[in-house]
């Protein structure tokens, strides 16, 4: 992805953003904020606004896109309020989002509190990725579930892309942002474009959407100059000339920063590229308006505020604190009848940690079912003599938890989680263990490497191996459980070096 961080309206990144938006007709929107942990009647403050701009077209293959991260904690909010509002309501830009209404509420609150301007109250035209997903499911003849899927699940199903959400609750107010946070935030917005691309191709393939192609966007004759210029395909040279003259007057008489800002914003709007015919048809049929009601603009007071905490709750919290610190010994300990080999069970909240543990040679299983009940997780950990790793505090509340069978991971990032588990359980990691387990199923590799002929035979009808690898005298390895083939190529060596650095094995 081409990612740009915008922290000032005087920067080259902001200029690049305005120019890109003038050529964009589809934009993916997302926002990040630091979660509010208290029960106060307040909305979180949005500190990052992501805009993924699609600047390709059908002839370009829709491959050209760029993501801008607006650092709202650094930008002077009054200076960009009008500009963002124009983007949100521009009829020439289709806005994509995933449950963006909550983001809009928090964004509106942030500008009201810090910018002193009225909050944003609508986004149009808008399409929600949840509705696009349901449309694609319907066209494939699949049963549409009533439960709303997460964005990561939709991305994995439609794009085949694993979208890790482990950074969602990180501290987005802290600066500078980490590389992982930047990549996560950009991917969250960029994936919306990929999902829409598939939806658009499906709709276009099915044929015409609207009989009235030449029908105007708005029926109101009192559009005003700005409204007329925003209409797709508007070629009124007289109006355009008058507009340019008016803009020159504004710029010539600007005596304050506010006037200059208005002039710059108007110029950006004037240059907005109209939608092409096929996209306009899609917007007319499937587009919607996202707007806030008056009751949604202010936070509601917590019903639990002021309630007296019962002794049961206090005891429960103390119990959770006790489970937060590992006290050992683990179930694989020889003194308890174990084999001495560390074994873990990682629930859905730490799936990334499971793969990292496998990469350093540690046995790390995942639940047998997609959505296991708490009792299923505990039973699996008990039967397989594993320690259950989780970030879900609710799991710690169950009465039937086995002592020293569960550990709540504190860190959010996978690398830090790995180091935490290694330290807490005093795991012995050496270089020979790295990449010795199958990252797909947790199985062990066949100890003897396969010859090229054996690898070709093992891959038939199961896995495709690039022909160019057979001329490099690489060693091939096969998982004993799922038969997945691996080879010691560039990715293998990069992964080994990564975990040598993460685990500090050379120190």
Instruction: Summarize pLDDT for 130-140 with one digit per residue, the tens.
Output: 999 998 888 88
- Do residues 121 and 292 make contact, with C-beta atoms less than 8 angstroms apart? yes
Phi, psi of 478, rounded to the nearest 5 degrees: -125, 135
Count CA atoms closer than 13 A to 468's CA, side-chain side. 2
Give 303's pLDDT tier (boundaries 50, 70, 90).
low
| Whole-number pLDDT of residue 343 | 95
Instruction: Flag whether pLDDT at 271 surpasses 70.
Output: no
The total of other beta-carbon atoms located within 10 Å of residue 500's CB is: 16
Q: Residue 416 in 3-state DSSP? A: helix
- Residue pair 31/71 in contact (Cβ under 8 Å)? The answer is no
Say which DSSP state 431 is in.
G
Angle at 79 between CA 76 and CA 82, to 5 degrees: 135
CA Rg value for the chain: 27
* Residue 59 clears pLDDT 90, i.e. is over it: no
Same fold, 2-206+271-294 and 323-427: no
Tokens for 465, please give them. Answer: 């191996």
Q: Looking at the predicted structure, is the pLDDT value of residue 473 above 60?
A: yes
In this predicted model, which residue has the larger pLDDT, 21 or 445? 21
pLDDT of 215 > 70? The answer is: no
- DSSP structure string for 316-373: HHHHHHHHHS-----TT-GGGT--S--EEEE-GGGHHHHHHHHHTT-EEE--SSSS--
Exposure of 462 in the CB half-sphere (CA atoms within 13 A): 13
- CATH class name, domain 2-206+271-294: alpha beta
pLDDT digits (tens, 9 = 90+) for 154-171: 998 888 887 777 788 788
Give, in order, the Cα–Cα distances in Å from 134 to each of 130, 137, 206, 450: 6, 5, 17, 45
DSSP per residue, 125-172: EEEEHHHHHHHHHHHTTPPPPSSPPPHHHHHHHHT------TTTTS-T
Closest to 94 measured CA to CA, from 133, 72, 124, 63: 124
Mean pLDDT of 478-502: 86
What is the rounded average pLDDT for all residues in the chain? 79
- Taking 90 as the threshold, does the pLDDT of residue 6 lie above it? yes
Question: For residue range 362-408, what is the model confidence (pLDDT) as tens digits?
Answer: 999 999 888 888 888 888 998 999 999 998 887 877 655 666 788 99
Collapse the DSSP code of 54 into the 3-class scheme (helix H, G, I; strand E, B; otherwise coil) and give the result: strand
Question: Residue 73 burial by CB count (10 A; 0-12/13-18/19+): exposed, middle or buried?
Answer: middle
Residue 353, pLDDT score: 94
Q: How many residues does the chain have?
A: 507
pTM of full prediction above 0.75: no
For residue 308, name the pLDDT band (cuts at 50, 70, 90): low
Which DSSP string do the residues of 443-503 spell out, in sequence order? PBBPSSPBPHHHHHHHHTTT----GGGGGTT--EEEBTTT--EEE-SHHHHHHHHHHHHHT
What torsion, rounded to 10 degrees, do the Cα atoms 445, 447, 451, 452 define?
10
pLDDT band at 458 (very low <50, low <70, confident <90, very high): confident
Which secondary structure element, helix H or strand E, spans residue 294, and what is its range?
A: none
Rounded Cα distance between 51 and 190, Å, is 8
Instruction: In whole angstroms, give the CA distance from residue 342 to residue 362.
Output: 7
Cβ partners under 8 Å of residue 306, min gap 6: none
CB 229 within 8 A of CB 235: no
Q: Would the pLDDT of 277 be above 70?
A: yes
Evaluate whether 266 touches 248 at the Cβ level (below 8 Å). Answer: no
Band (116; pLDDT cuts 50, 70, 90): low
Q: What CATH class does 323-427 carry?
A: alpha beta
| CA angle, 374 then 339 then 505, to 5° | 90
228 vs 18, more confident: 18
Please report, for the chain, the start and end positions of each structural domain, with discontinuous segments joined by +: 2-206+271-294, 323-427, 429-506
Q: What are phi and psi of 144, to 5 degrees?
A: -85, 120
**Distance separating alpha carbons of residues 50 and 174, to the nearest angstrom:** 17
CA distances from 471 to 273, 458, 466, 467 (A): 50, 18, 10, 8
């Amino acid at each position: 992805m081409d990612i740009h961080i915008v922290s000032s309206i005087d920067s080259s990144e902001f200029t690049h953003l305005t120019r890109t938006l003038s050529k964009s007709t589809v934009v993916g929107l997302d926002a990040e904020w630091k979660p509010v942990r208290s029960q106060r009647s307040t909305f979180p403050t949005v500190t990052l606004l992501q805009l993924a701009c699609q600047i390709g077209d059908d002839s370009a293959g829709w491959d050209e896109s760029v993501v801008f991260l607006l650092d709202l904690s650094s930008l002077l909010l009054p200076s960009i309020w009008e500009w963002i509002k124009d983007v949100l309501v521009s009829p020439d830009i289709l806005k994509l989002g995933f449950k963006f209404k909550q983001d809009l509420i928090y964004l509106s609150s942030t500008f009201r509190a810090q910018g002193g301007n009225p909050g944003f109250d609508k986004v149009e035209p808008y399409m929600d990725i949840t509705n696009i997903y349901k449309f694609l499911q319907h066209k494939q003849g699949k049963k549409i579930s009533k439960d709303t899927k997460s964005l990561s699940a939709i991305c994995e199903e439609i794009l085949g892309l694993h979208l890790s959400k482990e950074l969602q609750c990180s501290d987005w107010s802290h600066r500078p942002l980490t590389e992982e946070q930047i990549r996560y935030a950009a991917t969250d917005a960029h994936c919306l474009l990929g999902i829409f691309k598939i939806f658009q191709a499906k709709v276009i393939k099915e044929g015409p959407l609207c009989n009235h192609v030449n029908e105007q966007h708005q029926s109101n004759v009192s559009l005003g100059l700005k409204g007329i210029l925003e209409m797709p395909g508007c070629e009124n040279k007289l109006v355009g000339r008058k507009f340019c003259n008016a803009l020159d007057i504004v710029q010539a008489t600007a005596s304050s920063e506010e006037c200059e800002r208005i002039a710059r914003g108007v110029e950006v709007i004037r240059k907005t590229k109209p939608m092409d015919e096929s996209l306009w048809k899609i917007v007319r049929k499937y587009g919607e308006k996202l707007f806030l009601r008056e009751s949604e603009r202010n936070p509601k007071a917590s019903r639990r505020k002021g309630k007296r905490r019962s002794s049961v709750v206090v005891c429960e919290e103390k119990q959770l604190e006790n489970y937060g610190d590992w006290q050992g010994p683990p179930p694989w300990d020889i003194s308890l009848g174990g084999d001495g080999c560390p074994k873990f069970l990682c629930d859905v909240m730490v799936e990334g940690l499971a793969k990292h543990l496998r990469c350093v040679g540690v046995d790390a299983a995942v639940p047998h079912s997609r959505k296991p009940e708490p009792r299923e997780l505990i039973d699996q950990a008990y039967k397989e003599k594993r320690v259950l790793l989780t970030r879900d505090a609710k799991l710690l509340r169950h009465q039937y938890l086995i002592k020293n069978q569960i550990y709540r991971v504190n860190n959010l990032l996978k690398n830090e989680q790995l180091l935490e588990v290694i330290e807490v359980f005093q795991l012995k990691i050496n270089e020979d263990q790295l990449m010795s387990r199958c990252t797909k199923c947790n199985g062990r590799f066949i100890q003897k490497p396969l010859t090229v002929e054996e690898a070709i035979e093992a891959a038939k009808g199961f896995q495709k191996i690039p022909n160019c690898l057979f001329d490099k005298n690489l060693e091939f390895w096969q998982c004993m459980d799922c038969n997945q083939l691996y080879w010691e190529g560039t990715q293998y060596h990069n992964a080994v070096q990564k975990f040598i650095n993460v685990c500090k094995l050379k120190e």
